[in-house]
């Protein structure tokens, strides 16, 4: 084969490789616990700005050719550091007034996963979950053991008072008053503030990842672990599908919600949107639970079902423009999302 011929073959191969490159997509949520009458213009503006910033930071990773996991951690640390969300700073309180945080990540291409639960000194639990995956032989570490591991691998620790915000404290006081009067929570279980943050990403190599971080449910017993940090329940990714959930965690654990969505996609070839809607809007409510989820497949299809008054959410793809929504039927992320990236 002459040199020219060889070069032509190499050029053809690289064009083929480029044309197979996937358009990256990042989808995030900031929880399904939105209660319309608790919202005001300033809060909405701050939430939308934080979601947009998280999308931009995460997408910068994907655009630079970095793996989906880098986009997940870049986006979620923004939301963990923002006290408007129930994760990291601004997490809800347990019944006895502590903050106990859970988080998990999963790499869809290798099925590797890492999780932490019941930590109260880790500034960004999503980074510790990733360190558990990449730097330990385990999938999940809890409490003091997780924090000792954080110290060893250099993940930032803070004083537990870092997580406290006055707003969350007042929410707990209200819940405790309602508990003591045996009154139902004013907004049903949504008042337990599902403000978990989550992300799913598809990188340029076509690989998926998922991550979720939370303060859990307000007024929970100390020691309670929710779905966010349980692989398959609130967080799951494989080669075909990635999911992060938000809602009443006990139901997500019992339905193994994130895994149930991905198995419909992977094994039964159910379209992503239908798979996600069946689990989130049929199976979970039929058992008495509620909440939402974000899901992404390997072709870039997005689903964002929820059955509460709103779910903080957003997505970003090739145009680099963050799309953000809070309530139902917002044009940016309604039907358009399905027609959007890769759709």
The site string for ligand ASP over 27-66 (x = CB under 6 A, - otherwise) reads ----x-x---------------------------------
- DSSP class of residue 330 equals -
In angstroms, what is the C-alpha Rg of the chain? 20
In terms of Cα–Cα distance, which of 222, 206, 125, 128 is closest to 172? Answer: 222
83 binds ligand ASP (CB under 6 A): no
Is 196 assigned a catalytic role? yes
Instruction: Using alpha carbons, list the distances in angstroms from residue 89 to 10, 24, 165, 260.
Output: 51, 29, 8, 31
Which residue, 48 or 224, is less far from ligand ASP as judged by CB?
224
Candidates 108, 195, 289, 314; binder of ligand ASP (CB under 6 A) is: 195
Residue whose entry in the numeric block shows the structure tokens 């409510």: 285
217 binds ligand ASP (CB under 6 A): yes
Which residue, 247 or 314, is less far from ligand ASP as judged by CB?
247
- Binding span for ligand ASP by CB under 6 A among 42-50, 106-114, 244-252, 267-275: 244-252
State how far Cα 92 lies from the chain centre.
17
Q: Are 75 and 58 in contact (CB under 8 A)?
A: yes
Candidates 82, 100, 203, 227; binder of ligand ASP (CB under 6 A) is: 227
- CB-hemisphere CA count at 13 Å for 105? 28
The site string for ligand ASP over 323-342 (x = CB under 6 A, - otherwise) reads --------------------
Residue whose entry in the numeric block shows the structure tokens 């509620």: 290
Annotated catalytic residue, options 73, 196, 212, 308 = 196
For 77, other C-beta atoms within 10 Å of its C-beta total: 22
Which residue, 7 or 287, is less far from ligand ASP as judged by CB?
287
Which residue, 93 or 194, is less far from ligand ASP as judged by CB?
194
Q: Are 62 and 214 in contact (CB under 8 A)?
A: no
In terms of Cα–Cα distance, which of 312, 282, 260, 262 is closest to 55? Answer: 312
- Binding span for ligand ASP by CB under 6 A among 147-155, 214-222, 279-287, 323-331: 214-222
What is the nearest approach in angstroms of ligand ASP to the Cβ of residue 257?
Answer: 10
State how far Cα 19 lies from the chain centre.
30
Candidates 226, 310, 322, 341; binder of ligand ASP (CB under 6 A) is: 226
Residue whose entry in the numeric block shows the structure tokens 């019944």: 95
300 binds ligand ASP (CB under 6 A): no
Candidates 94, 196, 207, 317; binder of ligand ASP (CB under 6 A) is: 196
Phi, psi for residue 326 in degrees, rounded to 5: -120, -50
Binding residues for ligand ASP, rule: CB under 6 A, are: 31, 33, 86, 194-196, 214, 216-217, 226-228, 234, 246-247, 249
Q: Among all residues, which ones are annotated catalytic?
A: 196
């Amino acid at each position: 084969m002459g040199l020219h011929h060889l070069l032509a073959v190499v050029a053809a191969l690289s064009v083929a490789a480029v044309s197979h490159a996937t358009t990256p997509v990042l989808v995030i949520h900031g929880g399904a616990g939105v209660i319309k009458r608790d919202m005001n213009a300033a809060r909405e503006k701050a939430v939308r700005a934080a979601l947009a910033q998280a999308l931009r930071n995460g997408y910068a990773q994907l655009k630079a050719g970095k793996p989906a996991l880098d986009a997940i951690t870049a986006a979620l640390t923004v939301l963990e550091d923002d006290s408007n969300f129930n994760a990291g700073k601004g997490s809800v309180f347990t019944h006895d007034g502590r903050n106990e945080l859970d988080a998990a990540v999963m790499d869809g291409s290798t099925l590797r996963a890492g999780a932490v639960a019941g930590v109260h000194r880790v500034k960004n639990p999503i980074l510790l979950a990733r360190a558990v995956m990449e730097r330990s032989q385990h999938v999940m570490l809890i409490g003091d053991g997780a924090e000792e591991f954080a110290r060893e691998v250099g993940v930032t620790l803070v004083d537990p008072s870092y997580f406290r915000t006055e707003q969350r404290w007042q929410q707990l006081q209200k819940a405790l008053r309602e508990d003591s009067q045996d009154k139902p929570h004013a907004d049903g279980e949504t008042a337990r503030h599902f403000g978990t943050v989550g992300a799913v990403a598809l990188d340029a190599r076509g690989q998926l990842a998922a991550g979720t971080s939370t303060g859990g449910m307000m007024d929970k017993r100390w020691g309670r672990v929710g779905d966010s940090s349980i692989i398959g329940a609130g967080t799951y990714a494989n080669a075909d599908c990635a999911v992060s959930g938000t809602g009443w965690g006990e139901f997500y654990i019992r339905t193994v919600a994130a895994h149930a969505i991905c198995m419909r996609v992977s094994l039964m070839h159910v379209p992503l949107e239908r798979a996600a809607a069946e689990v989130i809007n049929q199976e979970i409510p039929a058992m008495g639970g509620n909440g939402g989820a974000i899901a992404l497949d390997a072709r870039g299809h997005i689903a964002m079902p929820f059955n509460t008054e709103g779910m903080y959410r957003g997505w970003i793809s090739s145009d680099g423009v963050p799309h953000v929504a809070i309530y139902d039927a917002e044009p940016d992320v309604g039907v358009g999302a399905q027609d959007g990236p890769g759709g």
